[in-house]
């Protein structure tokens, strides 16, 4: 029920965007437009990842499920963590795009966010195949991450890009850990995690090459702590 209401509201947000155009005919959005777009994207992230997919899941042709009930529960817990991470990634990128100063940086952020949409959809699909649902704390992950992303964007592009590079590095390490924890025969989840890891490494490299600064150690440590809270909680809830 709530899913249908939020998706209808999301469509309503998009239909109310006021279209202005720059001299080169690219669209110009007001602050209110951007707010509605972010709200619409947030609702889709939480309640309709499937709509956001650009590429088919790499897990779809990766063998059949032959997991025991215990393995299935464990795989679902891990994939719920990954899904929560992708909800957070969506929000981080949207938050940064909302406050980034240089248009090229904003575009790079939005492109990375589009790639994260696939990850979100793939994890959501895999969770459904495993008979489980995404984290119930999704709105909390989204709002918190959006605020962190917006703060990183306000700190300036070199820090914002540095934040992306560090986030993606930590995500790659995390996904590497999941490849060790996922049941060996869960080829479908493993194929998804492998592709995500490759994409995240690419996002991190792009951000570094675009001028991302190395973040100070205390910030990196706080980021690790925040992600530990999320990964431990989302496994269960």
Binding site residues, Fe ion, CB under 5 A = 89, 116, 119, 200, 203
Min CB(199)–Fe ion separation in Å: 6
93 vs 159, beta carbon nearer Fe ion: 93
User: What would the two tokens of residue 185 be?
Assistant: 């025969």
Sign of CA dihedral 57, 58, 61, 64: negative
83 vs 203, beta carbon nearer Fe ion: 203
Q: Residue 156 region, left (φ>0) first, then alpha (ψ -120 to 50), else beta?
A: left
150 vs 192, beta carbon nearer Fe ion: 192
Query: What torsion, rounded to 10 degrees, do the Cα atoms 156, 120, 45, 10 define?
Result: 110
Contact 108, 163 (CB under 8 A): no
Tallying the residues shown for the chain, one arrives at 237
125 vs 200, beta carbon nearer Fe ion: 200
Q: From CA 4, how far away is CA 199, in angstroms rounded?
A: 31
Residue in 4, 228, 212, 205 with CA at minimum distance from that of residue 112:
205
Query: How big is the chain by its Cα radius of gyration, in Å?
Result: 18
Min CB(212)–Fe ion separation in Å: 13
Contacts of 197 (CB under 8 A, 6+ apart): 172, 175, 176, 179
Min CB(74)–Fe ion separation in Å: 21
89 vs 150, beta carbon nearer Fe ion: 89
Min CB(107)–Fe ion separation in Å: 16
13 vs 120, beta carbon nearer Fe ion: 120
Residue in 50, 74, 63 with CA at minimum distance from that of residue 130:
74
DSSP 8-state symbol, 16: T
Min CB(89)–Fe ion separation in Å: 5
The DSSP result for 61-120, as a single string, is TS------HHHHHHHHHHHHHHHHHHHHHHHHHHHHHHH-SSHHHHHHHHHHHHHHHHHH
13 vs 189, beta carbon nearer Fe ion: 189
Min CB(129)–Fe ion separation in Å: 19
Min CB(162)–Fe ion separation in Å: 15
């Amino acid at each position: 029920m709530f899913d249908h209401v939020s998706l209808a509201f999301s469509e309503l947000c998009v239909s109310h965007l006021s279209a202005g155009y720059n001299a080169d005919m690219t669209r110009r959005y007001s602050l209110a437009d951007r707010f509605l777009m972010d709200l619409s994207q947030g609702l889709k992230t939480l309640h309709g990842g499937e709509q956001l997919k650009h590429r088919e899941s790499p897990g779809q042709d990766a063998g059949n499920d032959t997991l025991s009930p215990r393995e299935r529960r464990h795989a679902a817990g891990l994939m719920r963590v990954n899904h929560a991470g992708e909800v957070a990634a969506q929000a981080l990128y949207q938050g940064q795009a909302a406050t980034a100063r240089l248009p090229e940086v904003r575009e790079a952020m939005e492109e990375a966010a589009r790639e994260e949409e696939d990850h979100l959809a793939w994890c959501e699909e895999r969770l459904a195949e495993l008979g489980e649902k995404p984290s119930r704390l999704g709105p909390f992950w989204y709002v918190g991450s959006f605020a962190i992303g917006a703060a990183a964007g306000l700190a300036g592009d070199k820090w914002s890009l540095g934040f992306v590079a560090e986030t993606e590095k930590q995500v790659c390490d995390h996904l590497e850990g999941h490849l060790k924890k996922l049941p060996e025969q869960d080829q479908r989840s493993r194929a998804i995690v492998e592709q995500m890891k490759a994409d995240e490494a690419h996002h991190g490299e792009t951000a570094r090459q675009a001028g991302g600064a190395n973040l100070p150690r205390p910030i990196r440590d706080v980021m690790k702590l925040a992600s530990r809270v999320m990964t431990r909680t989302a496994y269960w809830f």
